[in-house]
Amino acid sequence: MVEYMIKVRVRCFAAIREIVGVSELFVELPEGSTLMQLIHLLHGQFPQLQALTGSVLFSVNREYASPDTRLAGGDEVAFIPPVSGGADA
């Protein structure tokens, strides 16, 4: 049986970028994978990501997404650690 693969783009910002070392990476996953499976894969590759404190959210195609979201080829994914834009106040 052939396993078809999809490729997603992972964009890395702030603390994530410093851990991963680049501002984006492309990851291949079996078709039908969920966001959760991608997260586990990245946790394996970059163990420091597991040490992030606060509630890290995730986005798929620039919208907040839940871990059971099924990914498609070309999707843009990002880790969203707690945001702190705006005022220093």
Four-residue CA torsion sign, 86, 35, 18, 43: positive
Contact 17, 84 (CB under 8 A): no
Residue 81 interacting with another protein (CB under 8 A)? yes
Residue 11 interacting with another protein (CB under 8 A)? yes
Residue 53 interacting with another protein (CB under 8 A)? yes
# residues near another protein by CB under 8 A = 24
Give dist(CA 6, CA 15) in Å, integer: 26
Residue from 6, 9, 13, 25 in contact with another protein (CB under 8 A):
13
Give dist(CA 60, CA 69) in Å, integer: 8
Give the residues lining the site for another protein (CB under 8 A): 11, 13-15, 17-18, 53-55, 59, 62-64, 78, 80-89
